[in-house]
A = this chain, B = another copy of it.
Amino acid sequence: MTRPTPLSGFPEWLPEQRLAEQQVLDRLRRTFELYGFSPLETRAVEPLDQLLRKGETSKEVYTLRRLQAADGDDEQHLGLHFDLTVPFARYVLENAGKLQFPFRRYQIQKVWRGERPAAGRYREFLQADIDIVDRGTLPAHYEAEIPLVIGDALRSLPIPPVKILVNNRKLCEGFYRGLGLEQPEEILRIVDKLDKIGPAAVSVEIQKAGASEAQADACLALAAIRATDASFADAVRGLGVEHPLLDEGVAELVAVVETAREHSPGLVEATLKIARGLDYYTGTVYETELTGFEQFGSICSGGRYDNLASAGSDVFPGVGISIGVSRLLGLLFKADALSVSRPVPTAVLVALWTEEERAASNRIAAALRARGIATEVAPVPAKLGKQIRHAERRGIPFVWFPANGEQPDQVKDIRSGEQVPGDATVWAPPAEDMTPTLR
């Protein structure tokens, strides 16, 4: 076998990076559960027709085939899910009778997209989603709760501050309709390109779509509004456009911004240019900037959707957001901005005098483990210096020397060189050395 090489677009972490990733996931989970979100996992595959309900994503889907499937086999066509929202909507429909609504769940899983890999764009990546769905109607206050959860979750990590940018589809659609523009989705799609192509080109495109220059200017003026409090509403009203849907959208967005401002000032900013590409959003939309990494785009996005899941007259509106975990960690690892205090779980290496005495070293290890101290026994009864170097190379902070003749048990902090008598039923490392911690 020749030495294998990485597959482009399929990132794999080193063990110490995976240790960091797990601690990140543990903290996200912890926050999600503090807000009452239940854990959920769905299968990795969905029927292909489900995945292709939105034509625009069809090019991204990986389809599956059993290697030994006979040509005549009439098996259902399956594909790997490309996000966690579509499978979740399907799960809710399938299990509606067994769920309590409003249903709050979080879901942390890999997703796959067959896109051409690029910097920060993977073919396999980990997402952490939260959603709240209700049966029939979903109160708008849930759109204000999502940023609180995500704010708490991301601020539980030793990463740069985040800012959650929010907008509201009703606000934009109402504004465009109030202006007399009858193709709000098209306008939204054009405005979404603002950061990429600039205001002049956006204006040209909006006019090409049938608007006057004045109407295009008004759309750009709306998109330019930003505020971390309800003052954005005055700025919108100052543009002199009126429409019932606009009023509804403004009121909802005011609630989102003000709820967040009470919970954590500076976390949320009404930013009326953000649109989100996917067209299933119908209310609040979210994007998230990581301070110092703004140029890499949103690390956490989502919104409210009213029409993603329905069966007959049963509708399940929802609101949710998704943290792009692999993307976020890829950025932070590359910038050396996130790591763990040691590369292995192990706190103690128990030395070994001879292979015959392995049982004695095992007993010490078992006593330490029983008290929650992660412990390994030395691989071979090498010279003591070699055993210590093994611990050093692995990043294990303590080496335990079992009793040897007259000499009782001793434990050495190999970083400081300090060596003290040890009793495996009593001794413990300092709290900060118990487990690896994120930093």
Instruction: Pick the interface stretch among A59-67, A238-246, A294-302, A419-427.
Output: A59-67
Please tell me if the beta carbons of B14 and A98 are within 8 angstroms of each other in the complex.
yes
Q: Is the CB of A311 within 8 A of B1?
A: yes
Please name all residues of chain B whose beta carbon is closer than 8 Å to the beta carbon of A346 when the two chains form the complex.
36
In the complex, are the beta carbons of B76 and A67 less than 8 A apart? no
A417 within 8 A of B: no
Is the C-beta of A394 less than 8 angstroms from some C-beta in chain B? yes
Interface 9-mer from A5-13, A191-199, A282-290:
A5-13
* Distance (whole angstroms) from the CB of A437 to the closest CB of chain B: 13
A366 contacts across to B, CB distance below 8 A: 148, 263
A321 at the interface (CB under 8 A from B): no
Decide: A66 and B61 in contact? CB cutoff 8 A.
Answer: yes
Nearest residue (CB) in B for A91 is B12
Is the beta-carbon distance between B114 and A67 smaller than 8 angstroms?
A: yes
Chain B residues with Cβ under 8 A from A45's Cβ?
7, 10, 124
**Residue A68 at the chain B interface, CB threshold 8 Å:** yes
CA distance in complex: A163, B139 (Å): 52
Contact B38 A19 (CB under 8 A): yes
Interface flags, A334-347, vs B, CB<8A=1, else 0: 00000000011110
Main secondary structure of the interface of A (DSSP, over half): mixed
Provide the residues of chain B in CB contact with A380, threshold 8 Å: 139
Hey, which chain B residues are within 8 Å of A94, CB to CB? Answer: 3-6
Please state the number of chain copies in the assembly.
2
Verify A374–B35 contact, CB threshold 8 A. yes
Q: Is A177 interfacial (CB-CB < 8 Å)?
A: no
Cross-chain contact A58 with B67 (CB below 8 angstroms): yes
Q: Binary interface profile of A, 54-80, with partner B (CB < 8 Å = 1, else 0)? A: 000011111111111100000010111
By the criterion CB–CB under 8 Å, are A39 and B10 in contact? Answer: no
Other-chain contact of A18, B41, B90, B344 (Cβ < 8 Å): B41
A134 at the interface (CB under 8 A from B): yes
Q: Across the interface, which residues of B come within 8 angstroms of A67, CB to CB?
A: 48, 58-63, 79, 114
A312 to chain B, nearest CB (A): 8
Minimum CB–CB distance for A10 against chain B, Å: 4
Given the interface pairs A43-B124, A93-B3, the reply to whether A345 lies near B38 with Cβ below 8 Å is yes
In the complex, the answer to whether B68 meets A58 with C-beta atoms within 8 Å is yes
**A393 contacts B by Cβ under 8 Å:** yes
As a 0/1 sequence over residues 93 to 118 of chain A, the CB contacts with chain B under 8 angstroms (1 = contact) are: 11110111011110000101010000
Q: Which 6 A-B pairs have the closest CB atoms?
A: A66-B114, A33-B345, A36-B346, A36-B376, A15-B38, A10-B43
A-B contact pairs, 25 of them (CB 8 A): A4-B90, A4-B93, A5-B94, A10-B43, A10-B45, A12-B43, A15-B38, A15-B40, A21-B41, A22-B39, A33-B374, A34-B369, A34-B373, A35-B375, A36-B376, A44-B112, A44-B124, A58-B68, A59-B67, A63-B66, A67-B114, A102-B379, A134-B379, A139-B380, A148-B366
